[in-house]
Amino acid sequence: MDTHLDTHATGRVVFVPTPIGNREDLTLRALEVLRGADRIACEDTRHSAPLLSHHGISGKTLISLHEHNEIRRIPELLAAAQAGETVAVVTDAGMPGVSDPGYRLVHACIAAGVPFEVLPGPSAVLTALIGSGLPCHAFRFGGFLPVKSGRRRQTLEEALASGETAIFFESPHRLAGSLELLAEIQPDASVCVARELTKKFETYHRGTAFELATHFISHPPKGEIVLLLHAPR
């Protein structure tokens, strides 16, 4: 059975996207929810507290909700919503559930019939896709690239063969290795490395797999990375 948000319900869980870099990228609706929430579940309370303070939100009950305790926290959060509370859920950056905690809680809300709402907002995936200049009519998001080189190569080969723009999160210390693999598989594939999106030192590096591999081997990157690639079939 589908669960729809009852706007007249006294309790609910609200998944609130937070800025991926620039603290001003918080919607008016998100601010309203955070100001009115009875408790806020944060991936890292130490990370979320400065954001809330920046927007004048204080005196809230903050609890941790991360990959290691999400299953254990779920009954507590569901009970709070069932008791009439508004529970806001945020991650360190972007959309809860996208390579971040949240999916299990959504699933639990559906199973328990607890009203929940997902607000639209910042997403590194879509921001990088549009800024890359690569085709965006069909795309795939693969989360973080696998750590093991064999599985990483297979993932990149499948992405290149798909004919769609593929989007991955990648750590800065593994980026050069991933680009080298891409250059071996298809050196002329179109690639974009989006770094530190919405922050002061945001950059987009665009070129072929070979060109970007050459660049980043000699210029190790820092910060948060989104890797995009496209090779027409």
Q: Give the homologous superfamily in CATH for domain 12-118.
A: Tetrapyrrole methylase, N-terminal domain (3.40.1010.10)
Helix intervals (H) in the chain:
28-36, 45-54, 70-82, 103-112, 124-132, 149-161, 172-185, 209-218
Span 7-38, pLDDT tens digits: 445 799 999 999 999 999 999 999 999 999 99
CA 4, distance to chain mean position in Å, is 24
d(CA 141, CA 56): 34
Q: Please name the residues in contact with 33: beta carbons below 8 A apart, sequence gap of 6 or more.
A: 14, 16, 86, 88, 119
Categorize the per-residue pLDDT at 233 as very low, low, confident or very high, splitting at 50, 70 and 90: confident
Q: Please name the residues in contact with 177: beta carbons below 8 A apart, sequence gap of 6 or more.
A: 149
d(CA 91, CA 17): 7
Model pTM greater than 0.85? yes
Per-residue HEC secondary structure of 54-83 comes to HCCCCCCEEEECCCCCHHHHHHHHHHHHHC
Tokens representing 128? 């990088």
pLDDT of residue 5: 47
What mean pLDDT value characterizes the chain? 94
Diameter of the chain measured on Cα atoms: 58
Categorize the per-residue pLDDT at 39 as very low, low, confident or very high, splitting at 50, 70 and 90: very high
Span 79-104, pLDDT tens digits: 999 999 999 999 999 999 998 899 99
* DSSP 8-state symbol, 145: P
pLDDT of residue 2: 52
Residue 190: is it exposed, middle or buried by C-beta count within 10 angstroms (0-12/13-18/19+)? buried
Query: What is the mean pLDDT of the segment spanning 194-220?
Result: 97
Classified as helix, coil or strand, 84 is coil
- Domain segments of the chain as ranges: 12-118, 124-230
CATH of domain 124-230: 3.30.950.10
Query: What is the mean pLDDT of the segment spanning 207-211?
Result: 97
pLDDT of residue 30: 97
